[in-house]
Amino acid sequence: MSPQISAWAADQLAAARERIAPLVADRSAGVKPRLERVLAAFAAERLGVHHFASVSGYGHGDQGRELLDRVFARVLQAEAAAVRLQFVSGTHAIAAALFGVLRPGDRLLALTGRPYDTLEEVIGIRGSGQGSLAEFGIVYDELDLLADGTVDEAAIAEALALPTRMVLIQRSCGYSWRPSLSVAQIGRLVERVKALQPGCLVFVDNCYGELVELSEPTAVGADLMAGSLIKNLGGTIAPTGGYVAGRAELVEQACCRLTAPGIGSEGGTSFDLNRLLFQGLFLAPQMVSEALLCADLVAAVFDRLGFAVKPLLGGPRSDVIQAVRLGEPALLKAVCRAFQACSPVGSYLDPVPAPMPGYASELLMAGGTFIDGSTSEFSADGPLREPYVLYAQGGTHRAHAELALERALVALEQGGLLPVG
């Protein structure tokens, strides 16, 4: 049962709770405009119970799927969207977008430094290269981030001196110690790119960012974006899947890659699971708000203990991730172990560093979630590499994060792992 919570741990948590109090009101108020947008989309598209079932087999003419696509497009402020359970993950949705749009000889330029781990193999800059964009003759370059982790805006013109079919912008920090990009910043980058090369497409990896701000990258000129349904927009109940959203012709190109040319967005059953996708979207504004408050709580606790946290408590957020620079593998293990022990599923498991398909470093993961791998439920992980940063994200209720943090505090205290001072 519950471990002894020391008076010290209880004090730390009480102090953290007090520090996030001003954010609670703001974040709670932020749910309303987002939910309003979701409800307006349901109303405009006349969502009814008959949209919950789906057509089996080919899935041709599936009204639920078609309505879901239009609802997502409205919520994401995009011309079109495709929401599919056939997307295995966010990586798959992003890969479909890249392979769907890019052609041999095209140049892809990452504006936000090295992309998320799993995209390295998609692009062909790590691993065997088999089936990668590189193997299909797509030229890849990246613009390094500045030392402070921001985009090197002064170097964009030079980086775009060559004809470029697409730039890639990663909104979230991913597994790197850098600030996430705000939607306004993304909008400014879109302007810069279009001024330099009007025909260059802007693609945004929108993972973890959805609904955190009031608008999405597609509202500020991004041509195409993609993300996962077991993150923000699935509202913790979508069983799997991903989405692409943006200009209609580009969404269709991504779908032609997902299914086949000629089928595009018009096939693919939803296995009678449409209700979960609609309901997940309905819950998403609330879940994202709770996840942000869980992130605030993690920041407050570790900041008080003297660890560097990113973003800073009360600083702007553009995604649901809270990074904590723990600095030592023993600390990363202790915290992940404590979080795992407080997970609803698999609490008895001891997280050990393990290789993950698509990732370069071994990953330590604490995620006893109902949906496997879901990071909109409270979870934390970190690649086992310097500087041993813990990335915490998700959380359906603050109480869960509090319990997990209490246990982590006790583990650090009892293990003699706290920084001196």
Q: How far is the C-alpha of 238 from the C-alpha of 182, rounded, in Å?
A: 26
Cβ distance to ligand PLP smaller for residue 319 or 406: 319
Distance of closest approach, residue 217 Cβ to ligand PLP, in angstroms: 13
Map the footprint of ligand PLP across residues 273-302, applying CB under 6 A.
none
How much of the chain is in helix, strand and coil states, percent to nearest 5?
Answer: 40, 15, 45
Q: Kindly tell me which residue out of 164, 170, 265, 340 binds ligand PLP, with binding defined by CB under 6 A.
A: 170
Cα first-last separation, the chain: 31
Distance of closest approach, residue 170 Cβ to ligand PLP, in angstroms: 5
DSSP 300-318: HHHHHTT-EEESPTTS--S
Strand order in the sheet with 363-366: 308-310, 322-325, 389-393, 379-383, 363-366
Cβ distance to ligand PLP smaller for residue 12 or 318: 318
Per-residue contact track with ligand PLP, 84 to 103, x per CB under 6 A?
Answer: -----xxx------------
The Cβ of residue 292 has, within 10 Å, a number of other Cβ atoms equal to 23
Q: Kindly tell me which residue out of 42, 72, 99, 116 binds ligand PLP, with binding defined by CB under 6 A.
A: 116
Distance of closest approach, residue 175 Cβ to ligand PLP, in angstroms: 8
Q: Report whether 342 contacts 324 (CB < 8 A).
A: no
Rg (CA), the chain: 21
| Single-letter amino acid, residue 365 | M
Per-residue contact track with ligand PLP, 342 to 381, x per CB under 6 A?
Answer: ----------------------------------------
SS (H, E, C) 151-162: CCHHHHHHHCCC
Cβ distance to ligand PLP smaller for residue 41 or 365: 365
Distance of closest approach, residue 224 Cβ to ligand PLP, in angstroms: 14
> Does residue number 406 form part of the binding site for ligand PLP (CB under 6 A)?
no
Cβ distance to ligand PLP smaller for residue 205 or 296: 205
Name the nearest CA neighbour of 74 among 231, 237, 218, 240. 218
Q: Which range, of 168-176, 288-296, 325-333, 376-384, touches ligand PLP by CB under 6 A?
A: 168-176
> Does residue number 172 form part of the binding site for ligand PLP (CB under 6 A)?
yes
Residue nearest to ligand PLP (CB): 90
Q: 194: Cβ–Cβ under 8 A, 6 or more apart, which residues? A: 200, 202, 221
Distance of closest approach, residue 400 Cβ to ligand PLP, in angstroms: 21
The Cβ of residue 220 has, within 10 Å, a number of other Cβ atoms equal to 20
Token output for 363: 């990953």
Q: How many residues does the structure list for the chain?
A: 421
Q: Which range, of 167-175, 212-220, 326-334, 362-370, touches ligand PLP by CB under 6 A?
A: 167-175
Distance of closest approach, residue 258 Cβ to ligand PLP, in angstroms: 14
SS3 76: coil
Q: Report whether 322 contacts 309 (CB < 8 A).
A: yes
Name the nearest CA neighbour of 207 among 91, 124, 371, 122. 91
Q: Kindly tell me which residue out of 62, 69, 106, 205 binds ligand PLP, with binding defined by CB under 6 A.
A: 205
**Site for ligand PLP (CB under 6 A): how many residues?**
12
> Does residue number 244 form part of the binding site for ligand PLP (CB under 6 A)?
no
Q: Kindly tell me which residue out of 208, 243, 302, 359 binds ligand PLP, with binding defined by CB under 6 A.
A: 208
Distance of closest approach, residue 317 Cβ to ligand PLP, in angstroms: 14
Residues in contact with ligand PLP by CB under 6 A are 89-91, 116, 118, 170, 172, 174, 205, 207-208, 228
